[in-house]
Structure 1
């Protein structure tokens, strides 16, 4: 399902880009109006300086910022970032650093991928990283789009797939550590019509056998908020909780669901930035 979602997201983004271009061609400005627009000013950004600063801060042997700050700011470890960088650079020539006609080095793969990841991690606009990385808004947006497409193509078979037995065991362990035994994860289809969501989840989920309060269950469950149907695979938020027991449950559930809510929140911001 994850693979399908990401492909639909990329299709949506691409279609939005195409529709914007088409609308501008049909309903756009006249030649006179286009002539009145201010010409774009060329900014000499010094790409090499941006790469050197980024490398010195986070990737040099004695980097300015230690590994714990790298993980905090990139939302992953340095070795994982470098693995992704190598795979993406090998698959997509766009990320390979080249020289322009004047012999000057262009943006490095490290700069383009850092810009894409920072946009995904923080939900910031395309020009947010310009001052630090020395990358213009249009290139940052193109890097994000190509990075997302490449991640799907390179890693979908390994990570964007249905969970196997080992995956389920790991997810159950994480759920138990968060205070929800036998929980598979969280779900949040924010701003998606329910007809597009997986109806098969009504009674199908990975087989998990457990007993709670004397009741036997044969499938795992997902945490969800109150807008979802009353399906056996969804454990929904308690509306207007009363008493400490219910209030503590709601607090724990909201804490466990924050990851998926933040993830979809970032995707929403990124999608809007294309419009």
Structure 2
């Protein structure tokens, strides 16, 4: 049996036709269209955040992780210990990164998922929807996580790491460059 290919334009055409019929019926009844609010239903995709957390934890942070430290280093562009140090400082200072329960009393996204999404977007320059498959995190949440992560890093680490260079820093950097063969 041949199955026709999925065509979203036919769904759009059908929705458009349905709305046109509804508007025509309202006009025929003498009702003003400005008083009636027609809303297109929003598509909701439910993600199980615990699946994303379990996968992430077992792959990189468990006692016997699936991937060794050198793979973590390559994929996150930093060591696991540095990642966890940044994670603990951010989680302690920004309530957004603390895992909470929602109104249905189920756990929401973990701080590891939110921070991993932000770091991977920064490290690889990937789009936000790239995070959905592995981490089970939606686009808007990934964007919000990235913004909160950047604000947190600047507020927590700016004094120590984001300061202007002094003469000692410049001398040290020049010495390292010269040792590596740069003039």
Aligned with 1:129: secondary structure? helix
Q: Map 1:136-175; keep pairs closer than 5 Å.
A: 136-175=138-177
Q: Map 1:3-14; keep pairs closer than 5 Å.
A: none
In structure 2, what is the equivalent of residue 120 of structure 1? 122
1:97 to 86, 96, 99: 99
Q: Which of the pair is proportionally richer in helix?
A: 2
Give the TM-score, by structure 2 length. Answer: 0.76
Unaligned runs of 5+ in 1: 1-30, 182-275
Q: Does 1:69 align with 2:71?
A: yes
Deviating 4+ runs (over 3 angstroms): 34-37
- Structure label with greater radius of gyration: 2
Change (3 A) 1:166 1:56: farther
Map Cα deviations across residues 204-252 of structure 1 (whole Å, 9 max, x no partner): xxxxxxxxxxxxxxxxxxxxxxxxxxxxxxxxxxxxxxxxxxxxxxxxx
CA-based RMSD of the aligned residues comes to 1.9
Q: Map 1:14-93; keep pairs closer than 5 Å.
A: 35=38, 37=40, 39-93=41-95
Change (3 A) 1:128 1:35: farther
Following superposition, the deviation at residue 43 of structure 1 comes to 1.7
Distance 1:86 1:136 in 2: 23
Aligned with 1:153: secondary structure? helix
Q: Which of the pair is proportionally richer in strand?
A: 1
Give the TM-score, by structure 1 length. Answer: 0.51
Unaligned runs of 5+ in 2: 1-33
Following superposition, the deviation at residue 166 of structure 1 comes to 4.5
Aligned with 2:128: secondary structure? coil
Following superposition, the deviation at residue 42 of structure 1 comes to 1.8
Q: Map 1:217-256; keep pairs closer than 5 Å.
A: none
